[in-house]
Amino acid sequence: MKYTTLESCYTECAMFDQSRVETYREAYLADGYCVIRSLLSASEVEVIADRFEQIWREGVPGFLERDEQGQINWLKERYPRIVHPHRFDELSKKLLLNPKLLAVVAACLSDEPLGAQTMYYWKHPGSLGQALHQDNLYLQASDAAGCMAAWIAIDPADEENGCMHVVPGSHRLDIICPEKADPSQFYFSDYVAPPEGLSAVPVPMSPGDVLFFGGRTIHGSNPNRSKTRSRRSFICHYIGARSSQSAGFYNPLIRSDGTEISNEESDGGPCGIFVSAPH
């Protein structure tokens, strides 16, 4: 069956086994991340993929315009993503507030999750990767353990097309000040080297699998080296309601009922720079 809205897919939410949330939380607390296989159904994935193919084709007036060459302005050839689609796209906002994602994030954070950011990566063949980094350098949630991502695979993701890598155990570290990333491999300038004794592991995923990771967990991805396969993904970032401050770029934050609240703006990160850009 082909759905055209996420609402119709939500009936499949009933298949989500709430009793397993505690197991996911334990894995998250032990390693700094956990993967839930097939958390989103094939129908949900299809609705998301269709919507973003439409956005890619048509653009979004005021948010995603095409230039004279027909390129979408800030999506240059090797740049793989758009940021904050939930601010112009209702389906993306619904996905940010998807009850399955919120249930897992709430359990892992032991807090009410507030939606802070969405991103969609097309990561077409040849797109650059995103060097290893920690998200809370950018979100600056004042409760350092209180920010989290839900990374949803739209395509099969593996080492060839630039799947995610995470550094197990790095969630126990403080925020590390980044070095410069190699611009021939990564479109993002910051790079956090895993400290001695820790190393990055690839996380291959299938469509509908969701990778949850914390704001201090070191993670990133390599370039897409496939000649034919994109590595599409939808990503949600959350800040726990306990954090009264966070970076202004993520305001307004969105509660599960869709209402908006704004945190006090954080007055700077731990590395002596204030980064208000997306990461």
Residues that bind ligand AKG (CB under 6 A): 121, 130, 135, 149, 151, 164, 219-221, 233, 235, 279
CB of 176 to ligand AKG, least distance (A): 15
Helix ranges (DSSP H) in the chain: 6-10, 21-31, 42-58, 90-96, 99-109, 136-139
Helix ranges (DSSP H) in 119-198: 136-139
Cβ proximity to ligand AKG: between 28 and 121 the closer is 121
Alpha carbon distances (Å) from 160 to 164, 200, 201: 11, 16, 14
- The residue whose Cβ lies closest to ligand AKG is 221
CB of 243 to ligand AKG, least distance (A): 17
Cβ proximity to ligand AKG: between 151 and 238 the closer is 151
CB of 231 to ligand AKG, least distance (A): 8
CB 54 within 8 A of CB 11: no
Q: CA-CA distance, 137 to 159, in Å (whole number)?
A: 26
CB of 235 to ligand AKG, least distance (A): 4
Cβ proximity to ligand AKG: between 6 and 131 the closer is 131
Cβ proximity to ligand AKG: between 107 and 235 the closer is 235
Cβ proximity to ligand AKG: between 10 and 194 the closer is 194
CB of 219 to ligand AKG, least distance (A): 6
CB of 42 to ligand AKG, least distance (A): 21
What are the E-state strand segments in 123-232?
130-133, 147-153, 164-166, 179-180, 190-191, 201-203, 210-214, 219-221
**How many helices (H) and strands (E) in the chain?**
6, 16
Bridge pairing between strands 245-246 and 264-265? parallel
Q: CA-CA distance, 248 to 32, in Å (whole number)?
A: 25
Q: Is 11 helix (H, G, I), strand (E, B) or coil?
A: helix
Cβ proximity to ligand AKG: between 11 and 126 the closer is 126
Cβ proximity to ligand AKG: between 164 and 253 the closer is 164
The residue among 158, 116, 156 whose CA lies nearest residue 138 is 116
CB of 167 to ligand AKG, least distance (A): 12
For residue 195, say if its preceding peptide bond is cis, omega within 30 degrees of 0.
Answer: no
